């Protein structure tokens, strides 16, 4: 089990909730790693913080999802539909945003 470091302690419940939503949406077993973090954004024109989700479906395939909302505001409707999973592959290239 990993321990969450930094961030607001009262935000942990939201990060855990988002992890559960992601596991359910993409049918991820508990043996797969799902990382959820809320990050401050300093880029002009972007919201002050966003939430990033990274997860793996196997050893070599990593996925990344960036939601432009604080963790406390994210619900199931903010997640992409499961059939969009291939578009979330994280190939290591930097985001456009």
The rounded percent of the chain whose pLDDT value lies above 90 is 61
- Which DSSP helix (H) or strand (E) runs through 61? strand 61-67
Tell whether the torsion through CA atoms of 43, 19, 88 and 83 is positive or negative: negative
- Cα–Cα distance for residue pair 50/48, rounded to 1 Å: 7
Query: Which sequence spans correspond to the domains of the chain?
Result: 9-88
Query: What is residue 43's predicted lDDT score, i.e. its pLDDT?
Result: 86
What is the chain's pLDDT, residue by residue, as a tens digit (97 residues)?
Answer: 455 555 676 788 999 999 999 999 999 999 999 999 998 888 898 889 999 999 998 888 999 999 999 999 999 999 999 999 999 999 876 655 5
Query: What is residue 1's predicted lDDT score, i.e. its pLDDT?
Result: 45
Please tell me the pTM assigned to this model: 0.83
The DSSP 8-state label assigned to residue 46 in this structure reads S
Cβ-Cβ contacts under 8 Å for 17 (sequence gap 6 or more)? none
Q: Are 42 and 75 in contact (CB under 8 A)?
A: no
């Amino acid at each position: 089990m990993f321990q969450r470091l930094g961030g607001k302690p009262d935000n942990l419940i939201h990060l855990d909730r988002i992890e559960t939503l992601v596991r359910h949406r993409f049918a991820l077993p508990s043996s797969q790693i799902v990382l959820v973090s809320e990050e401050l954004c300093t880029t002009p024109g972007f919201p002050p913080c966003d939430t990033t989700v990274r997860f793996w479906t196997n050893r070599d395939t990593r996925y990344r999802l960036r939601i432009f909302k604080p963790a406390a505001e994210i619900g199931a409707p903010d997640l992409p539909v499961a059939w969009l999973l291939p578009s979330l592959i994280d190939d290591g290239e930097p985001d456009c945003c």
